[in-house]
Structure 1
Amino acid sequence: MTDTSSPISAAQRKSALRGAALAHRDALEIDDRLEWDPLIAERVLALPAFGESAGPVSAYWPMGSEADPRPIAEGLHAQGLPLCLPAIVAKRMLFRRWAPYEPIVPGGFGTLVPQPAQPEAVPAILIVPLAAFDRRGYRIGYGKGYYDAKLTELGDVISIGIAYAAQEIDAVPDEAHDRRLDWIVTERETIRCG
């Protein structure tokens, strides 16, 4: 008998891994995550990239069980670096200026974003959320491709993925449009990718 089934595509493998990765991250104890977020922030703030850049730096507003970049944003703000947050407008990611404790509004996909009146910014460094990662610097996000498209559009920017060590997998099924991160930082280590 001949096997007529088609091979599973990278996108299908990634989709299956995404569901498992999000469930695994959601199962991490909140007390552990609250302990790990400041450790991640300490590692990120020690990266040499911030000494080389005057910003702006894009963070993100955390959703659910994501690693929380707010301690990083507060540290960068204290250093005088300008910040911004992403917003999806007309199916395109853009960035608006923001500083800790400034008002934010619902932005779709369960996110919070700066008010629409805030000026747009072009970040030099992006702090990127993820569901899973591998040591090559590839990530699994939420499947919409906004970060990959924006990293391609921006070109020569520094990308830093933040995650919990438990989110590491052996290999992310990467596709041609996927952009590798420059750094991945967890509560345990700082990984220089590529």
Structure 2
Amino acid sequence: MSELRERKRELRKAALARRDAMDESDRIEASLMVAEHGDRFLADVEPGTIVSGFLPIRSEVDLRPLMTHLADRGATLCVPAIVENNLQFRELKRGAELVEQGFGTVSPGEDAAVLNPLVMLVPLSAFDRRGGRIGYGGGFYDRAIQRLIDTGVTPHLVGTGFSIQEVDEAPMAEHDRYLDAIVTEEGVIEPSRGT
């Protein structure tokens, strides 16, 4: 295993352990604060804008309140589905039947429209203030973002998580994408990478 991958693995494991240790009521309250901060930060999202979110697994931040606010303002929502080891973003409509995807996830079924999000609410294991992100290690989001860019869509990447997932420095490989912003229960971080 390369030094970079090993460092990411260690940081991921430690950050997820901190997240898992959160009291459930604290996690709920923090998720509601993420929704408040995210709603203000994304207030200029135009009706009809395609926004990808995600449905929580394990101890992840619960974005459903934020996604509801966005939908109420006219955003078109989608969530990831795993198709042939890649992510496909399927439209999420109220009352839509959800199907098991593996890894503890659910998504709309195959009959849902496949969309290209312009704003992506991105899950993470760990993040830093430069916008560095450590995912879950499968590269699903990295590949999905690259596919969107290859089709001419450059999505606005908004990492979402809890402040305890912050690390001093998230190691970044050449193919890794920096986040444009990170929303936690403490507020919005708009990274400065000195560029």
TM-score (norm 2): 0.91
Q: Residue 53 of structure 1: CA displacement?
A: 6.9
Does residue 149 in structure 1 map to residue 143 in structure 2? yes
- Name the structure 2 match of 1:59: 53
Of 21, 27, 47, the match for 2:21: 27
Correspondence list, 1:44-193, <5 A: 44-48=38-42, 50-51=44-45, 54-155=48-149, 156-193=154-191
Q: Secondary structure at the match of 2:143?
A: helix
1:135 and 1:152 map into 2 onto residues whose CA distance is: 22
Cα distance per residue 1:99-121 (max 9 Å; x no partner): 24422111111101111111111
TM-score (norm 1): 0.91
Confirm or deny: 8 A CA contact 1:77 1:100 kept in the other structure: no
Q: Residue 52 of structure 1: CA displacement?
A: 5.0
Q: Residue 46 of structure 1: CA displacement?
A: 1.1
Confirm or deny: 8 A CA contact 1:105 1:114 kept in the other structure: yes
1:171 and 1:137 map into 2 onto residues whose CA distance is: 9
Confirm or deny: 8 A CA contact 2:47 2:73 kept in the other structure: no
Q: Secondary structure at the match of 1:46?
A: helix
Q: Secondary structure at the match of 2:174?
A: coil
The answer for unaligned runs of 5 or more in structure 1 is 1-6
Confirm or deny: 8 A CA contact 2:79 2:107 kept in the other structure: yes
2:159 and 2:80 map into 1 onto residues whose CA distance is: 15
2:47 and 2:138 map into 1 onto residues whose CA distance is: 28
The answer for unaligned runs of 5 or more in structure 2 is none
Q: Which amino acid aligns with 2:191?
A: C
Of 42, 52, 61, the match for 2:36: 42
1:44 and 1:9 map into 2 onto residues whose CA distance is: 34
Q: Which amino acid aligns with 2:140?
A: Y
Q: Residue 8 of structure 1: CA displacement?
A: 5.8
Q: Secondary structure at the match of 1:179?
A: coil
Q: Residue 98 of structure 1: CA displacement?
A: 0.7
1:52 and 1:80 map into 2 onto residues whose CA distance is: 7
- Across the two proteins, how many residue pairs are aligned to each other? 188
Q: Residue 137 and residue 74 in structure 1: after superposition, are their counterparts in 2 closer, same or farther (change >3 A)?
A: same
Q: Residue 153 of structure 1: CA displacement?
A: 2.2
Confirm or deny: 8 A CA contact 1:22 1:131 kept in the other structure: yes
Q: Residue 109 and residue 48 in structure 1: after superposition, are their counterparts in 2 closer, same or farther (change >3 A)?
A: closer
CA RMSD of aligned residues (A): 1.6
Q: Which amino acid aligns with 1:72?
A: L
